[in-house]
Amino acid sequence: MWEEFEDRKAFSMAFFSNGEKYDELVLVKDIPFYSFCEHHILPFYGKAHIGYIPSDGMIGLSKLARIVDHFALGLNIQEDMTCKIANYVNEKLNPLGVAVIIEAEHLCMSMRGVLKPGHRTITSKLLGSFMESEKARAEILQLVGKGSS
């Protein structure tokens, strides 16, 4: 089981020209994932939301889910996983902005220790426009349900 879980399969990225010069948010939300806590070697699982604002190129939407799967494999810390996904998308696409928000339940908190099942830990990494523009940041947070109503 562990060999299967730890195997980071290579995947090819499908890039597309941004011929129409689309410069608004592209968001894939509620991408399910499973990972293992580096500290306790217990699972944590949840969903990831990835948004970006294209510049010259765009990526096939299914590749965003593959990126999440790729970085969820093996032992992780949720904060690190969030940053790795955001930095990878930023490096590969060079977009105007990248936002990654991950929410997860950690079984190390649910079935041991404080015994608080049902909790959600939320981490985010905002780059470019999402860090610089209050409007862009508010839009992504509202669309993933983390902003003010």
pLDDT digits (tens, 9 = 90+) for 30-59: 999 999 999 988 999 999 999 999 999 999
> What mean pLDDT is predicted for residues 18-40?
94
Q: Among residues 38, 70, 83, 105, which one is catalytic?
A: 38
What tens digit of pLDDT does each residue of 113-134 get?
A: 888 888 999 999 999 999 999 9
What separation in angstroms does the CA of 16 have from each of 55, 63, 86, 128?
11, 12, 19, 21
Check if 91 is active-site.
no
Q: Among residues 24, 39, 119, 132, which one is catalytic?
A: 39
Check if 49 is active-site.
no
Check if 119 is active-site.
no
Confidence bin at 28 (pLDDT 50/70/90): very high
pLDDT at 148: 59
Contact 102, 64 (CB under 8 A): no
Q: Among residues 70, 83, 105, 108, which one is catalytic?
A: 108
pLDDT at 1: 73
Say how far apart CA 89 and CA 39 lie, in whole Å. Answer: 26
Check if 40 is active-site.
yes
Check if 70 is active-site.
no
Q: Domains of the chain: which residue ranges? A: 2-143
Q: Among residues 49, 103, 106, 139, which one is catalytic?
A: 106
Supply the DSSP symbol for 113.
Answer: T
Say how far apart CA 12 and CA 76 lie, in whole Å. Answer: 23
Check if 83 is active-site.
no
Range 2-143 has CATH code 3.30.1130.10:
yes
Residue found under tokens 């990654």: 100
Check if 78 is active-site.
yes
pLDDT for 149 beyond 60: no
Return the structure tokens found at 80: 């690190």
What tens digit of pLDDT does each residue of 82-123 get?
A: 999 999 999 999 999 999 999 999 998 888 888 888 899 999
Residue found under tokens 């011929």: 19
Contact 109, 116 (CB under 8 A): yes
pTM: predicted TM-score of the whole model, two decimal places: 0.92
Say how far apart CA 124 and CA 82 lie, in whole Å. Answer: 6
CA dihedral angle for residue 17, residue 72, residue 5, residue 28, rounded to 10 degrees: -50
R_g over Cα of the chain: 16
Return the structure tokens found at 138: 């508010």
Three-state secondary structure call for residue 91: helix
